[in-house]
Amino acid sequence: MHYPWWYVPVATGPMLIALIATVHVLVAHYAVGGGFFLAVETSFAYRTGNQAYLAYLRRHAQFFILLTVVFGAITGVGIWWTIGLASPLATQVLIQTFVFGWAMEWVFFVLEITSAFGFFYFWGRLPPGVHRAFGWIYAWAAWISLVLITGITGFMLHPGRWLEPGHRSFWIAFFNPQLVPQVVARTGGALLLSSLYVYLHAAWTLRHQAGLRELVARRSARPALLGAALLLVGGGWWAALLPESARALIPAAAALNILMTLAVGISALVVVLVYLGPMKNPGWLSVGFAGTLWLLGLAGFSVGEFIREAVRKPYIIYNVVFGHQVFPEQVVRMREQGFLESGLWTRAWMAAHYPQVFVSDMAATPQAGVLPSAIAAQEGIAPAAFSPAFSSSSTPEAAPGGRTSLAGPEGRLSMVGPGGRIDEARLLQLSQADQVQIGRVLFMYHCNDCHAERDGYSPAGRLLQGRPKPRMVELVRHLHEHRFAMPPWSGSEEEAQVLAEYLATITPPRPAGMSPELGAPGR
Amino acid sequence: MTPTFLVEQAGGMLPAPWWFVQFFKVLGFTLHAVLMHLWYAGLLWAMVLAVWGSANGRHAAGRLMRQMPVLVALGVNWGIVPLLFVQAAYARVFYPATIYMAWFWLGIVVLLIPAYYGVYIYSFGLRRPWPNEVPAGHRADADSEPPGGSGKEFSPEGQTASPSARPAHFPSENGGLLAGVVPAMPVWRLAAGWVSAVLFLLIGFFFVNGFTLMTRQELFRQDHWQAVWGPHTLAGAALGTGLNLADPRLLPRWLMFFSLAWTTLVVWWVVDTAWRASRPSETYRRWVARTAWKLYLAGAIGFGLFGSWYLHTWSAEVRAAMFSWPVGVLTVLTAISPGPVWLGLAWSARQGTPPGRALALLLALGQLAVLALNASSRQVVQNLELRPFFAVLEQPETVQWSPLIVFLVFFVLGAGVLGWMLWQLWQYRHPAIPSA
């Protein structure tokens, strides 16, 4: 609500994040695991004097750089770009919390790039000892950057004690409950996935050198299986330390149920194939076999990443920022003030299009006499349920530890603009067409972070198909009760009705011919 | 009537002292600019020389393009620092500005990938030292230091490529469209280089849009919402299709940056000639000395002209502040800063000898000062332009001291490791002598 919402037709903005993030991790994990592959195997080749293997590793290093330094690095920047566009408030919180985490990561990026280029471009010039050192510098720098970024992504899923009063420090945020499990799982994933990249590359480039190809197959099988073991341990640990809502979401959502089964099944299949193939029968390593393994690995990884993103719902950062760019501690106040009134950009739109609903501050009596706490009690919502970090403060503008709430004074947005404030009651006095138009604005800012409109990703229209308007109003008012993965409704009663007016226009009627017919629902 | 601005004033805080944020933002941008300038102006320069340049010109272009993959990687990497601190301190204006032009902003990343691969495609095409790429008096195989190196070192199959191994599909041999014009590069590789050059210019244009939007008052004024945002919204949500084309600052700033990039490119060229591992021929070095000061002068004139134009687009308040004491000193220093570098180049040309290593190093430091002064002035102007609606320097601070210290420790240790690596690379820059 501090920022304008970016409308991405059909896909929704956050799905762009998921798309770019998934593509990135498929290369980024290879960038980490591949670094260890090159360091370990180059050391081995130097030690054994295996010139043919060294020549292969040099070719692999070129492939590695072209993929990781270009595509991997730029898509990594792309994630940063996209989260700022599609989730600006959450990104702002992350940047302010972890600015030095990212700064440290940058230091390791510099080391990664320099060592990677030195390793490849100075191949044959650097003495073996120095050359090996470059390989190891790259490998460890890449792994440390993995740890640093995992501290941030782990925080998004489970900030842990950071939410408690007086614990808002960088270190508590970084050493969150998800850090170690995710580092273990990601390290394992990096080792496993990089072996699959190596198989694909070796199968293609060494297709006429059977002996060398089998050496690569055998030697990369061990890290692959070690990676699988780490993935298993880390994955189980990750699941065990998930917040309750995230753990509950996996069996509760049919899609996640299926995807989880797929992730586990594909991973198991990859392990079996690696064991039976490269480990026991390295001669099996054909382009077809390696390509299949690689595709299975990518599929398993993509599914796993999607699950990791999806279980955060309804938050971008668990208990800190909702998907619709609202701080939990703002919700109660926003219900009193109104959603449109609370947002800088929604209010600007209203001022430009419907100045007649504005009244002077003195005249406006939104929900007269009803205190936020009374609304909360009526709805069965305690502010603490959304943001324990801010609940114990005696004054609403001060967060525990004497720090200012992320949401600002009184957990609300500052008032802007001439013309006073929006009188919620006047919204319902507008024509139905006007209400539909305003309802669409509410949809954009409150719903479009997860739902397309009529068609596209998780479209609201299709999900509500056949639902009569009165039920929609009820649904909007009790959003979080309808489903715990939904955020609480963050607007007024009147705005809930206005949103329902819009939803009714994008919702198809109940499919005909369904038995039993219990009467035509009122629309 | 005091306008109302759509900038959230409450909440949020700086995680570092404001001076720390400003310092690292300026430092990071300065370092980023050194490399960014080389592809911003350098790619176009190299492509023009590759097609229409003399043998010396093609050789110079080839040198730069061999280095370009590494320059782009490091340049993009060094851009992380200023961008990080922009988001830490300027989020409230940065995010709305980029959301306004979201598709173009995202386009920067989308275009960067093919642009970067285009650089590689072109660069790999230069691995063989074709005779007509090598200036008179220069050994064909002498120019083999990495990155890029020679065909001996990096031909895909690890075999030495001799001029006689020249592929038959080269346009100059087949009488293609560019026959007789393009000397030694398959058309598709050359096309990749041109595409990269254009894409990098476009990326620069989008960047200038984003950063001028960030300080454009109309974007944040509630009474201008309908005029500025209206055509680019659907039901109040941004479509991400806006650009800052109506802003008078846009074009002069973009052109001023290009001119400045041109001057950096010239200095890089002089430094590369003086410090490269394999000593270039005297003919080539003299040609560099004769040409560099003229090219630098062209860039400096462009910088002066477009800079003056840009200065005239400032608001009266910004202009008054930039010419008041003591900020005015910074403004004047920024304006005249290319002068000493140009004088150094001109002096060298007048002596009839190319700049030696010491002078080249001095010129590099001078150009670094030019960029640092520009980055500092730019920072002051940015803060002044924002002042009416966003007091950047007055944001509350909640300094994360221990992470800050740990970062500085990593920074110093990292610099040590980096120094060790660079030393090793310098020591072993020459190709190993093959054993019998």
- DSSP 8-class letter at A357: G
Please judge whether A4 and B238 are an interchain contact, meaning their C-beta atoms are less than 8 angstroms apart. Answer: yes
Please name the residue of chain B whose CA is at the shortest distance from the CA of residue A344: B6
Please judge whether A88 and B105 are an interchain contact, meaning their C-beta atoms are less than 8 angstroms apart. Answer: no
Q: Give the three-class secondary structure for A358.
A: strand
Helix, strand, coil content of chain B in percent (nearest 5): 70, 0, 30
Among the partner-chain residues A114, A127, A409, the one whose CB lies closest to the CB of B418 is: A114
Please judge whether A416 and B431 are an interchain contact, meaning their C-beta atoms are less than 8 angstroms apart. Answer: no
The pLDDT of residue A456:
93
SS3 for A141-194 is HHHHHHHHHHHHHHHHHCCHHHHCCCCCCHHHHHCCCCHHHHHHHHHHHHHHHH
* Min distance B422 CA to chain A CA atoms (Å): 8
Q: How many CB atoms lie within 10 A of CB A483?
A: 14
Please name the residue of chain A whose CA is at the shortest distance from the CA of residue B416: A111
- DSSP 8-class letter at A478: T
Q: Residue B291 corresponds to which tokens in the numbers above?
A: 């040409």
Q: Are B210 and B98 in contact (CB under 8 A)?
A: yes
User: Length of chain B, please?
Assistant: 436
Helix (H) or strand (E) holding B237: strand B237-238
Alpha-carbon distance of B266 to B293, in angstroms, equals: 8
Q: Is the dihedral of CA A7, A10, A14, A18 positive or negative?
A: negative
Q: Residue B423 corresponds to which tokens in the numbers above?
A: 């030393």
Instruction: Provide φ and ψ at A440, rounded to 5°.
Output: -70, -35
* Min distance A18 CA to chain B CA atoms (Å): 14
* Min distance B116 CA to chain A CA atoms (Å): 7
Alpha-carbon distance of A134 to B428, in angstroms, equals: 13
C-alpha B180 chain-centroid distance: 32
> A96 at the B interface (CB within 8 A)?
yes
The pairs formed by B290-298 with CB atoms below 8 angstroms and a separation of 24 or more are B290/B349, B292/B266, B292/B345, B292/B348, B292/B349, B292/B355, B293/B342, B293/B345, B293/B346, B293/B348, B293/B349, B295/B262, B295/B266, B296/B263, B296/B266, B296/B267, B296/B338, B296/B341, B296/B342, B296/B345, B297/B342, B297/B346, B298/B262
Alpha-carbon distance of B157 to B151, in angstroms, equals: 10
- Residue carrying structure tokens 């993995």: A146
Please name the residue of chain A whose CA is at the shortest distance from the CA of residue B146: A121
Helix (H) or strand (E) holding A319: none
Count CB pairs under 8 A between chains A and B: 253
Among the partner-chain residues A66, A404, A413, the one whose CB lies closest to the CB of B120 is: A66
> A11 at the B interface (CB within 8 A)?
no
- Residue carrying structure tokens 């590695």: A64
Q: Are B400 and A95 in contact (CB under 8 A)?
A: no
* Min distance A248 CA to chain B CA atoms (Å): 32
First to last CA, chain B: 86
Give the CA distances from residue A389 to residues A328, A357, A412, B11, in Å, rounded to whole numbers and listed in that order. Answer: 10, 35, 16, 15
Helix (H) or strand (E) holding B421: helix B401-427
Q: How many CB atoms lie within 10 A of CB B138?
A: 21
Helix (H) or strand (E) holding B91: helix B80-100
- Tell me the Cα Rg of chain A: 27
First to last CA, chain A: 31
* A449 contacts in chain B (CB < 8 Å): none
Among the partner-chain residues B12, B78, B117, the one whose CB lies closest to the CB of A96 is: B12
Alpha-carbon distance of B157 to B161, in angstroms, equals: 10
Q: Residue-wise pLDDT tens for chain B (436 aa)?
A: 677 888 887 666 899 999 999 999 999 999 999 999 999 999 999 999 999 999 899 999 999 999 999 999 999 999 999 999 999 999 999 999 999 999 999 999 999 999 999 999 999 888 654 444 444 444 433 344 445 343 333 232 233 333 333 333 333 333 334 444 445 678 899 999 999 999 999 999 999 999 999 999 999 999 999 999 999 999 999 999 999 999 999 999 999 999 999 999 999 999 999 988 677 888 898 899 899 999 999 999 999 999 999 999 999 999 999 999 999 999 999 999 999 999 999 999 998 777 889 999 999 999 999 999 999 999 999 999 999 999 888 888 989 999 999 999 999 999 999 999 999 999 998 776 554 4
- CB neighbour class for A434 (10 Å; exposed up to 12, middle 13-18, buried from 19): middle
The pLDDT of residue A417:
46
* A103 contacts in chain B (CB < 8 Å): 24, 81, 84, 407, 411
Among the partner-chain residues B74, B106, B229, the one whose CB lies closest to the CB of A85 is: B106
Helix (H) or strand (E) holding A286: none
Give the CA distances from residue B397 to residues A383, A399, B93, B307, in Å, rounded to whole numbers and listed in that order. Answer: 26, 15, 18, 35
DSSP for A37-65? HHHHHHHHHHHHT-HHHHHHHHHHHHHHH
Among residues B398, B371, B373, the alpha carbon closest in space to that of B18 is found at B398
* B6 contacts in chain A (CB < 8 Å): 344-345, 348, 416
Q: Could you tell me if residue A458 is left (phi over 0), alpha (psi between -120 and 50 degrees) or otherwise beta?
A: left
Q: Are A296 and A270 in contact (CB under 8 A)?
A: yes
Alpha-carbon distance of B331 to B351, in angstroms, equals: 32
Question: For A206-277, where are the alpha helices, taking DSSP H only?
Answer: 210-240, 244-252, 254-274
Alpha-carbon distance of B72 to B75, in angstroms, equals: 5
Q: Residue B350 corresponds to which tokens in the numbers above?
A: 């007048």
Q: Is the dihedral of CA B380, B381, B384, B390 positive or negative?
A: negative
Please judge whether B234 and A110 are an interchain contact, meaning their C-beta atoms are less than 8 angstroms apart. Answer: no
Alpha-carbon distance of B54 to B60, in angstroms, equals: 10
- CB neighbour class for A452 (10 Å; exposed up to 12, middle 13-18, buried from 19): buried
Alpha-carbon distance of A78 to B108, in angstroms, equals: 9
Please name the residues between 105 and 164 in chain A that touch chain B, using a CB distance below 8 Å.
106-111, 113-115, 117-118, 121-122, 124-127, 130, 134, 137
Please judge whether A118 and B421 are an interchain contact, meaning their C-beta atoms are less than 8 angstroms apart. Answer: yes
Amino acid symbol at A213: R
- CB neighbour class for B164 (10 Å; exposed up to 12, middle 13-18, buried from 19): exposed
> A478 at the B interface (CB within 8 A)?
no
- Residue carrying structure tokens 């719903």: A447
Helix (H) or strand (E) holding A316: strand A315-317
Per-residue model confidence as pLDDT tens digits over A124-159: 999 999 999 999 999 999 999 999 999 999 999 999
Torsion angle, alpha carbons of B161, B163, B165, B170, to 10: 120
Please judge whether B10 and A99 are an interchain contact, meaning their C-beta atoms are less than 8 angstroms apart. Answer: no
Instruction: Provide φ and ψ at B140, rounded to 5°.
Output: -65, -30
pTM value is 0.88
- Residue carrying structure tokens 């109040």: B236
Please judge whether A107 and B422 are an interchain contact, meaning their C-beta atoms are less than 8 angstroms apart. Answer: no
DSSP for A379-430? HT--HHHH-HHHHT-SSTTB-GGGPBPTT-GGGSPPP-SSS-EE-HHHHTTS
- All residue ranges of chain A with pLDDT < 70 are 1, 361-419, 518-523
Please name the residue of chain A whose CA is at the shortest distance from the CA of residue B72: A70
Helix (H) or strand (E) holding B417: helix B401-427
Mutate to test the interface with A, among B7, B8, B211 (most CBs of A within 10 A): B8
* Min distance B92 CA to chain A CA atoms (Å): 8
